Chain A
Amino acid sequence: MEGTMHIAAEVCSETGVESSPRGPGCSLRHFACEQNLLSRPDGSAAFLQGDTSVLAGVYGPAEVKVSKEIFNKATLEVILRPKIGLPGVAEKSRERLIRNTCEAVVLGALHPRTSITVVLQVVSDAGSLLACCLNAACMALVDAGIPMRALFCGITCALDSDGTLVLDPTAKQEKEARAVLTFALDSVDRKLLMSNTKGIYSDAELQQCLAAAQTASQHVFRFYRESLQRRYSKS
């Protein structure tokens, strides 16, 4: 399969369009993932969802400044850089959401007084950005070999004005929607780790979106498994 000698390992794994059995409105866009593509970070991954693409790099467990060290667990830091311009308040808020999700999953108690840094770079934004960032961060943490108690994934739902649910919306669908909800779910019991919502929706609609997201997350976790199996089968 590898005709020429590659010094840097680049494992590319792709999958086709995954659609849930419900209907045309509840399908996820084509997604793809590439791991170990950067040579300097300890772990790296690029995650593509349709046209949205995020590159993630993980450094750790590494040295930490004495002012930031925590005596009994690892200090997790997330840095999110937008495609253009300087990082602003929206990036800071997304960084905090991603950091809280990662802290719930990473076993920081195994590496006290160290720092684990996740750096995310937005390569292109075409809707569902926070979910794509979560997926890229998860794959990069796995690539770096950071001990985790579960995997996690991000799913975005959009509710438009007549109550139709769209999973993995594009930028246009997000703009026209009445509410956009992003959930982070873990791989063991599909439990909710993080939710970020914007807009107007009712209680029942929230439960409906959560159920749809839990069903869709099966496809994402199956994709993670296939892509990691492909990576380890090449060695």
Chain B
Amino acid sequence: MAEPKLVVVESLPGCRARAARTVLGQVVLPGEELLLPEQEETDGPGVAGERPLRLNAAVCSRLRVVCGPGLRRCGDRLLVTKCGRLRHKESGSGSSGGIYWVDSQQKRYVPVKGDHVIGIVTAKSGDIFKVDVGGSEPASLSYLAFEGATKRNRPNVQVGDLIYGQFVVANKDMEPEMVCIDSCGRANGMGVIGQDGLLFKVTLGLIRKLLAPDCEIIQEVGKLYPLEIVFGMNGRIWVKAKTIQQTLILANILEACEHMTTDQRKQIFARLAEC
């Protein structure tokens, strides 16, 4: 039996907090801490390189930074809670430090206020519809939240219909509520989605990629066949083309373009454009 040895635990290098600026574009893991950039000294009376003395040396003014998805505030640092690439966007006015967020790949949607989503009506109880949006709870939609709806003029919505609307209330403590009108009372494209067409589910990252301002995929798809398409931020896409076959082809292309490179995609489109 070995006698008790003196155990020396080597001091393990913990994850030192890194400056957020240096990690932009890299993959960050949950548990990492990021340091915020300090405020630049805009006007110093002295020569460049000198910093004016401050009376209260402890206070170090930092820029106001917005913490986006995947980051939480922890003291005066940012704690990463999801795995993904760290991104940054400068704000329009130069005063605040912009917004940092983590671009992660996810399948499950969590309701966020202001998001436009496609929901399926699952129940009609009294004055509200229960709409399944893919989150943890069905959202509620009042029958008065449609354009031109009054107590006498009810909208024609049945169980099983597809609805395109936006969230007005969506936080972790309350049941999400959605509406099909904007703040001026106009539909603006929202409401019941028409007959036929195909609804399918993709990952949330693909939706964000397709809705980016300069997405080539949508332009190329539009040149192929005339189509109607609705994107919901909850990962649902509704597509309708002239024939069923075209609709299925479009659905397959959109599902597959997550994993294809640009060249493969161009090849597929070229082949489809011929036939």
On A, residues with C-beta under 8 Å from B are: 2, 5-7, 9, 36, 42-43, 60-64, 107, 110-115, 142, 144-145, 147-151, 162-163, 186-190, 202-205, 207-208, 211, 214-215, 218, 224-225, 228-229, 232-233, 235
Contacts and interface: CB of A to CB of B under 8 A. Distances in A.
14 contacts: A36-B105, A62-B136, A63-B136, A144-B107, A145-B83, A147-B72, A162-B1, A163-B1, A204-B7, A208-B7, A232-B83, A232-B84, A232-B85, A235-B105
Contacts of B107: 42-43, 144-145
Nearest to A233: B27
- Majority secondary structure, B binding face: loop
B29 interface: yes
B23 interface: no
B246 interface: no
B9 A9 contact: no
Interface of B: 1-2, 4-5, 7, 9-10, 12, 14-15, 27, 29-31, 70, 72, 79, 81-85, 104-108, 110, 135-137, 172-173, 205, 252, 255-256, 258-261, 264, 268
A2 B124 CA distance: 47
A163 B7 CA distance: 14
Contacts, number: 126
The residue among B10, B12, B72 with the most chain A CB atoms within 10 A of its own CB is B12
A189 B14 contact: yes
Given A151-B30, A187-B29, A144 B106 contact: yes
B7 A2 contact: no
A205 B14 CA distance: 24
Given A215-B12, A218-B12, A145 B106 contact: yes
Contact of B205 (A2, A42, A208, A235): A235
B208 to A, nearest CB: 12
A107 B70 CA distance: 12
Contact of B15 (A61, A110, A112, A188): A188
Given A43-B107, A62-B108, A211-B9, A225 B82 contact: no
A2 B14 CA distance: 37
B227 to A, nearest CB: 21
The residue among A107, A145, A151, A202 with the most chain B CB atoms within 10 A of its own CB is A145
Nearest to B107: A42
B122 to A, nearest CB: 12
The residue among A114, A186, A224 with the most chain B CB atoms within 10 A of its own CB is A114
A225 to B, nearest CB: 6
Nearest to B105: A235
A155 B172 CA distance: 35
A148 B30 contact: yes
Contact of A107 (B4, B29, B81, B261): B81
